[in-house]
Structure 1
């Protein structure tokens, strides 16, 4: 038995004619073909007339369209392969050239079917190739633009999707457009309007989703800001409580020291110690009467701390300038503590531009230096600290207060 098909030796594809083998070689660069006695299937759908070359292709067509009835015409058209010459299939209606070698007249009876030219133009304007558009119109019944588009979507993976459809000459006259040009235009306008509405709905839906996302992000930012403010408030309260506890412990130590000094003086004078039971009511009365007045003079450290707080409060709009003033004061105090005998560190010209810019122009800067022991000269030209009045304890206290004011981010906010 002669060969009924050509099989590709590299991918195993079965090809019906020599022309198909040539096209396959051009597309895939495969060059090894051999004859096969197995014919390529020709299963024709009885519902829409689509030819299927294999069982897998017919199953896929059934899955997409629901068409289950096929006519097997494989044996009717199975003819031996002619390797000498290949018949040429006419690509346009009316081309009746005959095969020169094989003598077969089958290709002469196949022509391009007539389709609705208005629908064809619509499909071409939508970007579809001419062959694909004509194939869609032919196999969808040449009825409506929507049916043709649906057919293209369903068959876009077909291998022959971009091949020009061919039908026998006897079927050409039976294929007539079912819609007039006016009806086709109306249908096309309807499809365009439907597509526009669908696009508008998708854009509105996307905009709603974006708005929901913006609202969600906004809520998250507000919640994060609220949590941050709450944490900041808690830190400030904790810092204020710690400062109050520190002041309370300092007052208690001073009170105990005063009690000890008082007891020591009574002992030196030969007086008996005070009875706590008899002294307590008098103390409470005094405290009650003087509750609105300071019970003790402020210590040097507290005076320095209050001075620095006042300086920061008076210039709260310029944190950088306040911090620079604190660092400059710390430098003055540190230089004196390291070199107490150097007069240049203990003498400051009040009219010095650098001093005025950093410390002198800020309310509270000169007052802090005076708490450290500096005094104005008689001509008010200098701030001077005599070597006899250099007190290391006061300088250390001043350095500690300045360092605390620099490193503590909440200093002066209470």
Structure 2
């Protein structure tokens, strides 16, 4: 099948002839052209008669004018393309007669009103643009030509010279305007074009503002949803933490009950009756006093009570309490490992480090006294005599300190 157009390989534009391809190359610097069997579209507006060569042009024309009825005359106007570059006119009549049948001569620049063309050129329009405007506006008036230029100023071929078949004639031109009228008309048309452009810019700005408002609302909604999800996650996490703390407290309570039962067993006491715990604390007249002997609290229990009292007295500063426990553990451990070293068995009470860590906390010095330390030299020192070092007591003290440090609920229940 013969080629019906030339296709630009750089931008995809379809061109009717070699001349159009040359003009396209000069305007765009594109040089990759190939023959195509696809004809150049010729969609004519059924309302105003404007020809459009692509779907993009019809969309732009519809957007500018509102015209939507187009007649497809592509097949009617499609002709095989001549790939030969047209030759210049022959010098003599014989050569001119032999070249008259060239297909390239079937297309020519349309004839337009010379006066209207001159007036458009005097207004600053290029010749090709003015010719195209007069041709496609019907070559009727200066106002119609200027309006056409305003509507098609973004067309890619706005500055290409139009080509029409030689058998198409332009209607007789109407009388032109006087220079003064041309000047006033040009000023009026420019002002109209400026207002139209400003109105379009204002419309686009309103559209952009609507888009910004919509995007802002979507962003706020997304942020609100994210905050709501984060709040639900925190609530669920706190609930899980409370459940875990509740289970830990229950385990500790059970362990304390077991320890209490074990102590009663070691003391030779009968198991505690659960129903007895709900009876009034004060005995009634008919109740008899227990005749079972009750042993005094052991030293380990007194140490535990001392540490519990220390923590409760300073419950607002967990770091200070933990440091005091660790310092006491160091003192007790040093004596247990080196009972013969006097420096580990003697503590100056007014030592700043000792006062900060242990001495200033209620219960610290009492715990050391339970371990065997005694105040000497008018209360200036705490001293543990060598003969009073009881390794079992020191081990018991270390065990109680370790329990107080490791157990997060020590002193709470």
Asked if these proteins are the same fold (TM beyond 0.5), I'd say: yes
Report the alpha carbon displacement of residue 109 of structure 1 after superposing the two structures with TM. Answer: 4.5
TM-score normalised according to structure 1 size: 0.61
- CA distance in 1: counterparts of 2:45 and 2:302, whole angstroms: 107
| Candidates 289, 294, 301, aligned match of 2:283 | 289
Report the alpha carbon displacement of residue 399 of structure 1 after superposing the two structures with TM. Answer: 2.0
| Candidates 252, 263, 266, aligned match of 1:257 | 266
* Change over 3 Å in CA distance of 1:410–1:17 after alignment to 2: farther
In the TM superposition, what whole-angstrom CA distance separates every residue of 1:252-295 from its partner, at most 9, and x where no partner exists? 223333336x9xxxxxxxxxxxxx9xxxxx9999975299xxx8
- CA distance in 1: counterparts of 2:265 and 2:281, whole angstroms: 16
Written as runs of structure 1 = structure 2, the 5 A alignment for 1:8-407 is 16-17=17-18, 20=21, 23-24=24-25, 27=29, 30=32, 41=40, 43-47=42-46, 49-52=50-53, 57=54, 61=58, 67-72=69-74, 80-83=82-85, 106-107=108-109, 109=111, 161=156, 163-164=158-159, 166-167=161-162, 170=170, 187-188=196-197, 190-259=199-268, 289=283, 297-407=296-406
* Change over 3 Å in CA distance of 1:172–1:199 after alignment to 2: farther
In the TM superposition, what whole-angstrom CA distance separates every residue of 1:302-329 from its partner, at most 9, and x where no partner exists? 4333333333333344333332222221
In the TM superposition, what whole-angstrom CA distance separates every residue of 1:175-220 from its partner, at most 9, and x where no partner exists? x99x966665665555444434333333333332233233223322
* Change over 3 Å in CA distance of 1:393–1:142 after alignment to 2: farther
Which secondary structure state, in structure 2, belongs to the residue aligned with residue 259 of structure 1?
coil
TM-score normalised according to structure 2 size: 0.61
- Identify the range of structure 1 (296-305 vs 338-347) with the bigger mean alpha-carbon deviation: 296-305
Decide whether the 8 Å contact of 2:324 with 2:358 is kept in 1: yes
- CA distance in 2: counterparts of 1:408 and 1:173, whole angstroms: 107
Report the alpha carbon displacement of residue 347 of structure 1 after superposing the two structures with TM. Answer: 1.4
- CA distance in 2: counterparts of 1:14 and 1:354, whole angstroms: 94
* Change over 3 Å in CA distance of 1:313–1:232 after alignment to 2: farther
In the TM superposition, what whole-angstrom CA distance separates every residue of 1:344-393 from its partner, at most 9, and x where no partner exists? 21211112222222222222222222222222124212111223332333
Report the alpha carbon displacement of residue 45 of structure 1 after superposing the two structures with TM. Answer: 2.0
Decide whether the 8 Å contact of 2:109 with 2:161 is kept in 1: no
Equivalent in the alignment of 2:124? none
Gaps of 5+ in 1: 88-101, 118-130, 153-159, 263-275, 277-281
- CA distance in 2: counterparts of 1:11 and 1:190, whole angstroms: 32
State how many pairs are aligned: 341
* Change over 3 Å in CA distance of 1:312–1:232 after alignment to 2: farther
Which secondary structure state, in structure 2, belongs to the residue aligned with residue 45 of structure 1?
strand
- Identify the range of structure 1 (400-409 vs 378-387) with the bigger mean alpha-carbon deviation: 400-409
- CA distance in 2: counterparts of 1:195 and 1:7, whole angstroms: 35
- CA distance in 1: counterparts of 2:82 and 2:237, whole angstroms: 86
Which secondary structure state, in structure 1, belongs to the residue aligned with residue 267 of structure 2?
helix
Gaps of 5+ in 2: 63-67, 90-103, 121-128, 138-143, 164-168, 175-184, 288-293
* Change over 3 Å in CA distance of 1:213–1:408 after alignment to 2: farther
* Change over 3 Å in CA distance of 1:180–1:226 after alignment to 2: same
In the TM superposition, what whole-angstrom CA distance separates every residue of 1:133-181 from its partner, at most 9, and x where no partner exists? x99xx89x98999x959x97xxxxxxx736535447948979x99x966
Which secondary structure state, in structure 2, belongs to the residue aligned with residue 362 of structure 1?
coil
- CA distance in 2: counterparts of 1:250 and 1:407, whole angstroms: 18
- CA distance in 1: counterparts of 2:7 and 2:209, whole angstroms: 51
- CA distance in 2: counterparts of 1:386 and 1:288, whole angstroms: 45
- CA distance in 1: counterparts of 2:201 and 2:59, whole angstroms: 29
Which secondary structure state, in structure 2, belongs to the residue aligned with residue 289 of structure 1?
coil
Please tell me the root mean square deviation across aligned C-alpha atoms, in Å: 5.4
